[in-house]
């Protein structure tokens, strides 16, 4: 079981979610995906879900105070000894500041931030071909890693679907949002000496190898 505390940063479709799940399984880390949490809240029609829905569906960012509140509440619920991977949060400088502040109070500072770098053409290609299990969230790709039975999850048997916001017109908004609001976080974290850059255009196994090396080096400190 690993105790490291990480953030995965990168544009939509860069493989953060897939790698967060793989590494979390392998090192017994808790994966916390802000997108998954918001989609669950929307499905359950909670107050947060109702507030977030129009933002998520149009590819815009949910207000900072809403998402920071949700994610910090999730972090406070973890056992003190748990390591975690934050996937998709923070996405703006104010969110990063709220996270720093929340983790300072808990006495559990971040140890590393991985930046998944991928160009826009590759992102569009990946996102428009990706699918996700509607229940257990296992990711698929219709070209490279389709489910064994069309549209049925290999793991849990639930329907495999395309996310509403993975349609091309919404993806273009999400990419623009990322470049304007989230990309500045690389500087925020590099000045704090936390940033590890990863070329996300390679096969998942190669990326996983690099990430495992980062985790092992952080554990060895």
Considering the complex, state which of residue 3 and residue 21 has its C-beta at the smaller distance from ligand AMP: 21
By CB under 6 A, is residue 11 in contact with ligand AMP? no
- Taking CB under 6 A as the criterion, the residue among 56, 70, 110, 195 binding ligand AMP is 56
- Measured between alpha carbons, how far is residue 138 from residues 65, 72, 108, 157, 194 in Å? 29, 24, 29, 11, 29
Region binding ligand AMP by CB under 6 A among candidate stretches 23-31, 83-91, 110-118, 191-199: 83-91
Is 163 marked active-site?
yes
Judged by CB under 6 A, how many residues of this single chain contact ligand AMP? 18
**From CA 175, how far away is CA 46, in angstroms rounded?**
27
Please tell me which residue in 5, 22, 91, 137 is annotated as part of the active site.
91
| Binding to ligand AMP in span 84-143, by CB under 6 A | 88-91, 95
Shortest CB 89 distance to ligand AMP, Å: 4
Instruction: For residue 28, give the DSSP letter.
Output: T
Is the sign of the CA dihedral 36, 140, 29, 25 positive or negative?
positive
Q: Count the Cβ atoms, other than its own, within 10 Å of residue 91.
A: 20
Is 209 marked active-site?
no
Query: Looking at the DSSP assignment, which residues form a beta bridge with residue 119?
Result: none
- Taking CB under 6 A as the criterion, the residue among 31, 35, 83, 112 binding ligand AMP is 35
Tokens 């329907």, located at residue: 159
Region binding ligand AMP by CB under 6 A among candidate stretches 21-29, 56-64, 141-149, 184-192: 56-64
Structure tokens at 4: 């490291």
Is 91 marked active-site?
yes
DSSP states of 100-139:
HHHHHHHT----EEEEEE--HHHHHHHHHHEEEETTT--E
Considering the complex, state which of residue 93 and residue 158 has its C-beta at the smaller distance from ligand AMP: 93
Return left, alpha or beta for 73; rule: phi > 0 is left, psi -120 to 50 is alpha, else beta. alpha
By CB under 6 A, is residue 31 in contact with ligand AMP? no
Please tell me which residue in 5, 22, 39, 130 is annotated as part of the active site.
130
Shortest CB 191 distance to ligand AMP, Å: 20
Region binding ligand AMP by CB under 6 A among candidate stretches 34-42, 77-85, 100-108, 183-191: 34-42
Provide Rg for the chain, Cα atoms.
17
Tokens 């000894």, located at residue: 81
Residues recognised as catalytic: 16, 91, 130, 163, 174
The footprint of ligand AMP (CB under 6 A) covers 12, 34-35, 38, 55-56, 59-62, 67, 88-91, 95, 165, 174
């Amino acid at each position: 079981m690993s105790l490291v505390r990480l953030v995965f940063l990168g544009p939509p479709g860069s493989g953060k979610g897939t790698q967060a799940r793989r590494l979390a399984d392998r090192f017994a880390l808790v994966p916390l995906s802000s997108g998954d949490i918001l989609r669950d809240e929307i499905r359950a029609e909670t107050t947060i879900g109702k507030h977030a829905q129009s933002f998520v569906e149009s590819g815009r960012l949910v207000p900072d105070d809403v998402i920071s509140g949700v994610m910090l509440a999730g972090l406070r619920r973890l056992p003190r000894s748990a390591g975690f991977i934050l996937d998709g949060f923070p996405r703006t400088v104010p969110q990063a500041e709220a996270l720093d502040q929340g983790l300072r109070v808990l006495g559990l500072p971040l140890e590393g931030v991985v930046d998944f770098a991928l160009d826009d053409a590759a992102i569009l290609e990946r996102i428009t071909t990706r699918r996700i299990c509607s229940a257990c969230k296992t990711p698929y790709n219709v070209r490279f890693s389709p489910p064994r039975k069309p549209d049925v999850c290999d793991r849990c048997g639930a329907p495999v679907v395309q996310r509403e916001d993975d349609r091309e017109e919404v993806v273009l908004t999400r990419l623009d949002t990322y470049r304007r609001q989230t990309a500045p976080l690389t500087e925020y974290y590099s000045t704090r000496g936390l940033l590890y850059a990863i070329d996300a255009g390679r096969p998942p196994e190669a990326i996983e190898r690099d990430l495992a090396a980062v985790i092992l080096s952080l554990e060895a400190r």
